Amino acid sequence: MSKLSIEQIEHIARLSRLELSGDEKKLYSEQLSSVLDYVDQLSEVDTEGIEPTANITGLKNIWREDKVEESGVTHEMIGQNAPKFEKDSFVVPGVFE
Amino acid sequence: MMNLYSLTIKEASDLLAKGEITSVELTEAIFARIKDIEPKVGAYITLCEEKALEMAKASDDRRKEGKVLSEIDGVPFAVKDLFLTKGVKTTAASNILNDFIPVYESTVTTKLWEAGSVLIGKTNLDQFAMGSSTETSAYNTSEEYDSTTRNPWDLERIPGGSSGGSAAAVAADLCVAAVGTDTGGSIRQPASHCSITGLKPTYGRVSRYGTIAMASSLDQAGPMTKTVEDAAIVLKVISGHDKYDSTSSKSEVPDYSGKLQADMTGIKIGIPQEFFSEGLDDDVKETILKSIEEYKKLGATTVEVSLPMAHYALAIYYILMPAEVSSNLARFDGIRYGLSAIKDEALSAKSLEEVYTKSRALGFGPEAKRRIMLGSYVLSAGYYDAYYKKAQKVRTLLKKEFEKIFETVDLLIAPVSPMPAFKFGEKSEDPLSMYLSDVLTVPANPAGIPAMSIPAGFVERDGKSLPVGLQIIGPAWSEQMILNAGFAYQQATDWHKKKPDIK
């Protein structure tokens, strides 16, 4: 048990862009480890030479004309849901120092 | 005359057509019922009374002019709060979307409104449809209990999930019909726990456009109704190809309700042994075996079959689903919409990175966080082949096994859930035990096949009668046959007519 160490949880949280408290790290390390123990049973299944299925429809790429269509959605409408929106743009903290 | 709020779509549609009731009267009756019962049950996150009455009035006006749009014109619907509704708050039951107003409409709801139906409100669900009890919702919709949605059959128990609000709304007559979504059982399991009819269609039957995505290769929307006949009516309305969802199928939409027929002669039903073993409550098993006897009386033949790969379906699901979740929920970045560390000075995000990590930490509930992290892990360098690719391969084997079984039988019959509705808090502290409650519904999703839950009887727990659902599973595109089998059962039994006594 406890396959996932606190360090691993921190790494996964970083990949997931999630800030976690110390208690959360401990709790998720236990809970996620028990789920991983459960899914490990797949290793019993012989999948030699079996193709993976990502999508059951069997559809490949679907193409359409690269044509602009009216969506009826304006910048203003989009801005209304944004935390900070100025001059038709989302405002974020600076990326460069 | 019976209470208007108890009407099925079929009954309401007939009365509207005859001019015996109006859509406004029907809608008002539902809102009167909501005022009575909703403070206890808590099925809805958002109620749209004003809008509903406008829509009902418009329907009545159309009818007067002889311009009826469809069989569901004027019929009041509840919509899971996972479907985007333009101008009507849509939360996915998460804090991260607590003030989100969509700027466009989902295809499913567009089709409902184009057919003339009326929006009663947006129903509660497990946060981002992640859960089996509606307890992971960020919204305590039951005022009287200050909790998430209660089961109308026993207010001490959960309604199932994730479409728990839609199921409770239908069961408690707080709408005429509802729509939900099913990624691993989220239509069927609450339908079973609340004694209603719930159908998960074949993957690609219904467009996913505008439905907040959980796991895109598994999600399907479907009807949640009082009868199989109603499910057929709704499925016809919401199905079909959509240019905004390339995975939606171009195959023709049959007239499901027009073609409904109850003759089971010559239908061969498989009883998959694997669905009758793992932790199944004895009385639930008895209930399902009785319903199988009913099918024999109706002229069907039955045969025991084996689906060894079904045993692995839940493990496949808990790798592929979180992987897709971690990708789909990456869009909640605190920049474009939703709860944001940019807006909240107290969070004092000093960098773009902190905008992401703090907004997401505060906005997502624990279940969403667990699944995002599980997904990030199984997709991460060094683990991708062992988990994600392996699960995709076993998925291929599961799909092939179903295809092979359906060469020998027409349909499969199984329980929906190993147990009736459980109590609040019973499984919420132990995620794995919650996940295991979906063991019988999950297999249909990675295989992409349709399955339906219909009421099959009741079992006693603590002196209360709790509903048990029967699951009918068919090959891809067999919705008509599944609906026919459900229709046949509802012609012969009256479990679906039982109503909870809500106190």
What's the residue count for chain B?
Answer: 503
Whole-angstrom distance, CA of residue B274 vs CA of residue B92: 33
Nearest-10 Cα torsion for A34, B138, B177, B40:
110
A39-81 pLDDT, tens per residue?
999 999 999 999 999 989 888 888 989 999 998 999 999 999 9
| Residue B389 per-residue DSSP state | I
pLDDT score, position B206: 98
Nearest to B166 by CA among B200, B145, B194: B194
Whole-angstrom distance, CA of residue B55 vs CA of residue B4: 18
Active site residue: B80, B111, B226, B358, which one?
B80
pLDDT score, position B149: 98
pLDDT at B391 over 60: yes
Contacts 24+ apart (CB under 8 A), B250-256: B251/B477, B254/B479, B254/B480, B256/B232, B256/B479, B256/B480, B256/B483
Domain ranges of chain B: 4-274+280-308+404-493
pLDDT at B148 over 80: yes
Name the CATH topology of A6-43: Histone, subunit A (1.10.20)
Q: CB-hemisphere CA count at 13 Å for B409?
A: 23
B189-227 pLDDT, tens per residue?
999 999 999 999 999 999 999 999 999 999 999 999 999
Bridge-based pairing of strands A85-86 and B268-272 is: unpaired
pLDDT score, position B48: 98
A82 contacts B387? CB cut-off 8 A:
no
Q: What angle do CA B301, B306, B312 make, to 5 degrees?
A: 140
Probe site for chain B from A45, A51, A67, A95 (most B CB atoms < 10 A): A45
Residue among B338, B370, B397 minimizing CB distance to A31: B370
Domain ranges of chain A: 6-43
Catalytic residue flag (residue B186): yes
Whole-angstrom distance, CA of residue B361 vs CA of residue B381: 24
Residue among B104, B364, B373 minimizing CB distance to A28: B373
pLDDT score, position B350: 87
Task: Return the amino acid letter for B337.
Answer: Y
pLDDT score, position B278: 67
Bridge partners, B206 (sequence order): B239
- The residue written with tokens 């009818």 in the block is B63
Task: Return the amino acid letter for B27.
Answer: T
Catalytic residue flag (residue B162): yes
Residues in chain B closer than 8 A to A72 (CB atoms)? 104
Give me the total of CB pairs closer than 8 Å, taking one residue from chain A and one from chain B: 169
In this structure, which CATH number among 3.40.50.2000, 3.90.1300.10, 1.10.3720.10, 3.30.360.10 belongs to the domain B4-274+280-308+404-493? 3.90.1300.10
What is the percentage of chain B residues whose pLDDT exceeds 90?
A: 96
- Nearest Cα residue in chain A from B216: A55
pLDDT score, position A96: 77
Q: Which residues contact residue B408 at a Cβ distance below 8 angstroms, ignoring those fewer than 6 apart?
A: B268, B270, B303, B305
pLDDT at B366 over 70: yes
B380 contacts A81? CB cut-off 8 A:
no
Mean pLDDT over residues B259-285, rounded? 95
- pLDDT confidence of B35, banded at 50, 70, 90? very high
Q: Which residues contact residue A60 at a Cβ distance below 8 angstroms, ignoring those fewer than 6 apart?
A: none
B410-458 pLDDT, tens per residue?
999 999 999 999 999 999 989 988 998 999 999 999 999 999 999 999 9
pLDDT at A1 over 60: no
Report H helices in chain A.
6-15, 22-39, 75-80
DSSP for B268-307? EEEEEGGGGTTT--HHHHHHHHHHHHHHHHTT-EEEEE--
Whole-angstrom distance, CA of residue B31 vs CA of residue B406: 45
